[in-house]
Amino acid sequence: MKKKTTKDIVIINIILLIPLIIYGIFKNGYLLYERNLIPFYIIFKPLYLTIISILIKFFFDFITTKKINVNYNLLYMILISMIMPYNINILVYIITLIITYLLTSLLETKFKFNKVALIYLIIILINSIFNGLTFQNPLESTASFNFSFLDLLMGRCIGGISSTSIIFSLLAYTLLINSYYYKKDMPLFINISYLFLSFIFYLITHNSDILLNSELIFASIFIAPLPKYSPYKVKGQVIEGILIGIISFIISILFNKVISIYISIFLVSLLANLSLKKNN
């Protein structure tokens, strides 16, 4: 077994995210271009968002430390760019990301919370003022599709710009599961508790909309178990996982399926920190 540095772990995670970004370009770029819904240069919008995030991160690195660091902040920025809605305005994205990145970095010194989830929620809030709260791309908003289960697994669900591919998310999970650095129990319990509740909900109401939630799968695999914001003991991971699953389910029913997971991840990480502080 080879020792891994922080840089190695971050790079492995980024490599595992690449197929999802490529699928994002296919779903939210190529398919739209093919139907003449967008000009050619917009095909690569998912990639532009990722590059912008990386550049902002490196810019801050350069200002603060005069060198470029490959650390978890880089992964956070890439993840944020992947979960953005298709309708995000690039200018709004750049400005809000810079402000929220600075703000959360300051807040982080006082409170421990999932930074990725909070930045996402703030950007979504601001974007919804200008563009409304929608996660559909032009194709999804203009037509109605009857996708097969396999299509949905591949990523034809409604969600973030590069985060909808369930297959690639699960593939990444199976590769991460053997790593000593990955908190594998958390995604498992988030999904088990969410699926359990939504299945009961389906049995009662026959509403299958919330059963398959690609955003929940993506966020539970990549965002909830981020080491800094999640417990390292299995017991803690199980408790937090179940809590996130339950809260996500409730928010999915009452408010919005896509952002439910981010609200619950943020709330649980904040609550966990507050309860830890109280106990100490």
Q: Which is nearer to other proteins, 128 or 273 (CB)?
A: 273
Residue 180 touching other proteins (CB under 8 A): yes
Q: Which of these segments, 20-28, 113-121, 152-160, 230-238, binds other proteins (CB under 8 A)?
A: 230-238
Q: How far is CA 211 from CA 1, 13, 217, in A?
A: 39, 27, 11
Spatial neighbors of 185 by CB under 8 A, at least 6 apart, are 234, 237, 238, 241
Q: Which of these segments, 56-64, 137-145, 194-202, 228-236, binds other proteins (CB under 8 A)?
A: 228-236
> Taking the CB of residue 280, how many other CB atoms lie within 10 A of it?
5
Return d(Cα 270, Cα 14) in angstroms, integer.
Answer: 26
Place of tokens 């009662």: 204
What value, to the nearest 5°, has the Cα angle with vertex 171 and ends 212 and 90? 70
Per the CB < 8 A criterion, the answer to whether 23 and 168 are in contact is yes
Among 1, 106, 129, 150, binds other proteins (CB under 8 A): 1
Spatial neighbors of 239 by CB under 8 A, at least 6 apart, are 231
Residue 5 touching other proteins (CB under 8 A): yes
Among 24, 31, 72, 249, binds other proteins (CB under 8 A): 72
Residue 150 touching other proteins (CB under 8 A): no
CB of 8 to other proteins, least distance (A): 7
Total residues at interface with other proteins (CB under 8 A) = 20
Return d(Cα 77, Cα 105) in angstroms, integer.
Answer: 13
Pull the structure tokens for residue 111. 């409170």
Contact flags string 83-122 toward other proteins, x per CB under 8 A: ----------------------------------------
CB of 3 to other proteins, least distance (A): 6
Residues that bind other proteins (CB under 8 A): 1-6, 8-9, 71-72, 180-181, 183, 227-233
